Chains A and B, each alone.
Chain A
Amino acid sequence: SQTIHQWPATLVQPVGSPLSLECTVEGTSNPNLYWYRQAAGRGLQLLFYSVGIGQISSEVPQNLSASRPQDRQFILSSKKLLLSDSGFYLCAWISSYEQYFGPGTRLTVT
């Protein structure tokens, strides 16, 4: 069966520090992968999606970037975090048009 992993589960980082969040999928190949952010009490905001290795589509101009170095690995990064980057970061993949989410990383920027 397919599973999706994200780590870390929680993270507290100071403003201006770098960020790297990792997402990996098991049990499937060439999945479409997505990064979302959910601010406290808000809806899901699509940040990036990828349909293959090295292929990244950016939805929101900001200080975040994404990379897909391997088929089942999706990484979200930032060189310098802002307070507004705080939120719940969710990775997702698609199976038969249905989207499945990882457990998420809760990021607090202080």
Chain B
Amino acid sequence: RKEVEQDPGPFNVPEGATVAFNCTYSNSASQSFFWYRQDCRKEPKLLMSVYSSGNEDGRFTAQLNRASQYISLLIRDSKLSDSATYLCVVNSPGTYKYIFGTGTRLKVLA
């Protein structure tokens, strides 16, 4: 089993739609969770950290489910500018390393 797994997509959704991505992780001792956004040929940029109680930033909501070992990202009212690859990141316990998923590609269609 991969340490961090994501559905590669692509998810093709119309503008205004709500879309959700999940990411599963294998190490139950992981404590830090993040979602990054990566545009084509650009560096990944931190979208949001994921807190135990869940957190929201505008149209974006992140949730953590420790029992099932997954995190989720919900995007409401999708915009064309949301088209990107979304990377799930989890810390590797006991190390200074972070494990990246291979990303989920989102295309928002006009």
| A99 lies within 8 A of B43 (CB) | no
How many residues in B have their beta carbons less than 8 Å from beta carbons of A?
A: 19
Size range of the chain A interface in the assembly: 20 to 34
B100 touches A (CB below 8 Å): yes
> Which residues on A sit within 8 Å (CB–CB) of B46?
98-100
Measured CB to CB, the nearest residue on chain B to A97 is: B32
Contact (A49, B97) CB under 8 Å given A42-B102, A98-B34, A99-B89: yes
| B100 lies within 8 A of A49 (CB) | no
CA distance A94 to B97 in the complex (A): 10
CA distance A29 to B96 in the complex (A): 17
B59 touches A (CB below 8 Å): no
> Which residues on B sit within 8 Å (CB–CB) of A32?
96
Nearest CB of chain A from residue B70's CB, rounded to whole Å: 18
A90 touches B (CB below 8 Å): yes
| B102 lies within 8 A of A43 (CB) | yes
User: Which of B43, B49, B98 has the most A CB atoms < 10 Å from its CB?
Assistant: B43
| B96 lies within 8 A of A49 (CB) | yes
CA distance A34 to B42 in the complex (A): 17
Measured CB to CB, the nearest residue on chain B to A104 is: B43
CA distance A98 to B102 in the complex (A): 18
B91 touches A (CB below 8 Å): yes
CA distance A86 to B44 in the complex (A): 18
Contact (A51, B96) CB under 8 Å given A43-B102, A97-B32: yes
**CB under 8 Å from chain A, chain B span 70-110:** 87, 89, 91, 96-98, 100-103
6 residue pairs of the A-B complex, CB under 8 angstroms, read A43-B87, A43-B100, A90-B43, A99-B46, A99-B98, A101-B43
Q: A44-B100, A104-B43 are in contact. List 7 more A-B contacts (CB 8 A).
A: A43-B103, A44-B44, A88-B41, A94-B96, A99-B34, A100-B46, A103-B42
